[in-house]
A = this chain, B = another copy of it.
Amino acid sequence: MTLKRRPQGEPKQEDFELVENELSEPGPGEVLVRSLLLSVDPYQRGRMSEARSYAKALELGETIISQTVGEVLESNHPRFTPGDVVVGQLGWTEYAVVPAHQLRRVPDGVPPAAALHVLGTTGLTAYFGLLDVGRPKPGDTVVVSGAAGAVGQLVGQIAKLMSCRTVGIAGGPEKAKDLADLYRYDVGIDYKGQDVDAALKEACPDGVDVYFDNVGGQITDLVLLRLALHARVVICGQISQYNNQQPELGPRNLGLLIVYRARMEGFLIPDYAHRFEEALTRLGRWLAEGKLTHREHVTEGIENAPRAFIGMLRGENRGKTLVRVT
């Protein structure tokens, strides 16, 4: 699946094109992989624009980048044999020929979806964002926006494992139900159906010690008004803003950082590569012990990847968005 034209505002189906290419034979040290699951993530929107971002933009005609789980069909490298399940940055593609060093084996017993979620980039994002940037202490009140999304559902549960009180914000009654039932949030707020300001006031009588922000915009404006002294604000995503063609205007509120002596920080996962091992070991243990409930929102067929992506940016997904290649 390639980028046909740069989306203006909300992406449309016609911005994407499924292209058939002749598949080359794997050369020395290369591996032929058939995709099983494609990851669909908000950051991909940034790569489709030419605006300054942390990675270069996709060229028109290029395959949409993503993490992908696949099965090895042919291997010219001793580390892989046909039938192995692997994960790598293959993009939204059905087949790929890639150098072996770009692939990691998915360990036996790990479901393919987990390799893209709890034990993949999503889990690493929740882990390092919350623990390293947010630095929660036992008893802290941790508020998460996009709390039923891929990263948010894990952040809340990891915060509970750190003995924090957790408050999740999500849109719609189903997601709000998931916050309490699946992700063990102490309080779930449905921003579409509730007065967020009043709900936050009630849920956070001593203020917000850690705010893990996936969405930005007006929800963030309201949370910032309720920070506790020395609060930490983790800027993980700003999904409410990704389709804007011009920056949206909002109230200038940096003065609140002085009022609350607060810290606000952005982060990216590649900076933590030297600690992936540590994080995956811990996440894997929690998962095995049943301490991390996770939910995936799976769409069938690579031809529907754009639709899944557009829906995710609208908040229509319920959990981590994946596409199964059939």
Known: A247-B252, A261-B268. 18 other contacts (CB 8 A): A54-B258, A213-B254, A216-B252, A216-B254, A235-B257, A236-B258, A238-B258, A241-B255, A249-B249, A250-B251, A250-B252, A254-B264, A257-B265, A258-B267, A261-B266, A261-B267, A261-B271, A264-B264
Given contacts A249-B250, A249-B252, A251-B247, contact A266 B258 (CB under 8 A): yes
* Residue pair B252, A241 in contact (C-beta under 8 Å): yes
Name the interface residues of A263-293: CB closer than 8 Å to any CB of B.
263-268, 271
* Residue pair A249, B251 in contact (C-beta under 8 Å): yes
Given contacts A249-B249, A249-B250, A250-B250, contact A238 B265 (CB under 8 A): no
A120 at the interface (CB under 8 A from B): no
A248 at the interface (CB under 8 A from B): yes
The residues of A with any CB-CB pair to B shorter than 8 Å are 52-54, 213, 216-217, 220, 225, 235-238, 241, 247-268, 271
Interface centre among A53, A248, A264 (most CB of B within 10 A): A264
Q: What chain B residues lie within 8 Å of A52 (beta carbons)? A: 225, 259
A250 and B255 CA atoms in complex are apart in Å by 13
**How many of these chains are in the complex?**
2
* Residue pair B271, A220 in contact (C-beta under 8 Å): no
Of all chain B residues, the one with the shortest Cβ separation from A244 is: B252
* Residue pair A266, B271 in contact (C-beta under 8 Å): no
Of all chain B residues, the one with the shortest Cβ separation from A230 is: B271
Of all chain B residues, the one with the shortest Cβ separation from A225 is: B52
Q: What chain B residues lie within 8 Å of A254 (beta carbons)? A: 213, 216, 220, 235, 238, 264, 266
A259 and B47 CA atoms in complex are apart in Å by 12
Of all chain B residues, the one with the shortest Cβ separation from A235 is: B257
Q: What chain B residues lie within 8 Å of A247 (beta carbons)? A: 251-253
Interface centre among A52, A238, A249, A255 (most CB of B within 10 A): A255
A254 and B244 CA atoms in complex are apart in Å by 14
Could you tell me the distance in whole angstroms from the C-beta of A259 to the nearest C-beta in chain B? 5
* Residue pair A248, B248 in contact (C-beta under 8 Å): no
A102 and B178 CA atoms in complex are apart in Å by 55
* Residue pair B257, A264 in contact (C-beta under 8 Å): yes
* Residue pair A264, B261 in contact (C-beta under 8 Å): no
Q: What chain B residues lie within 8 Å of A249 (beta carbons)? A: 249-252
For the complex of A and B, the 5 pairs showing the least CB-CB separation, nearest first, are A257-B266, A247-B251, A258-B266, A249-B249, A238-B255
Q: What chain B residues lie within 8 Å of A261 (beta carbons)? A: 54, 265-268, 271
Could you tell me the distance in whole angstroms from the C-beta of A147 to the nearest C-beta in chain B? 18
Could you tell me the distance in whole angstroms from the C-beta of A130 to the nearest C-beta in chain B? 15
